[in-house]
Amino acid sequence: MRRNKYGMTEKLFQGRVEQSLKVAGFQVYHTWNSMHSTKGFPDIVAIHPKRKKIVVIEVKTETGIVRPEQNDWLTWFSLCGIDARVLRPSMFDEFWEEMRK
């Protein structure tokens, strides 16, 4: 498993992101086994019913590469007005501040 300068694997970081979203009041979906899922579909889809907010996240380490299929999905969500983004450990603090408001 590759660890980044933050000492986290992608799986560990994703768990942190999911837990943080739940604490902020989001309902969180993550495909447990993506083997039979559509190629490139984002790691996390989170919905905050009270705030009427959806955020779609592709979780990556600092050096993780966003594949073209992943980028396509994020673009398609964005074109529909949905907050779709790549999230890396170095971006977490800013992300957390935004999500908990």
Residue 35's pLDDT is 77
Q: What is the CA radius of gyration of the chain?
A: 13
Residue 2's pLDDT is 52
Residue 55's pLDDT is 98
- CATH number for region 10-32+42-99: 3.40.1350.10
pLDDT in tens, the chain (101 residues): 455 556 689 999 999 999 999 999 999 999 887 777 899 999 999 999 999 999 999 999 999 999 999 999 999 999 999 999 999 999 999 999 999 98
What Cα–Cα distance (Å) separates residue 32 from each residue in 14, 15, 76? 12, 12, 22
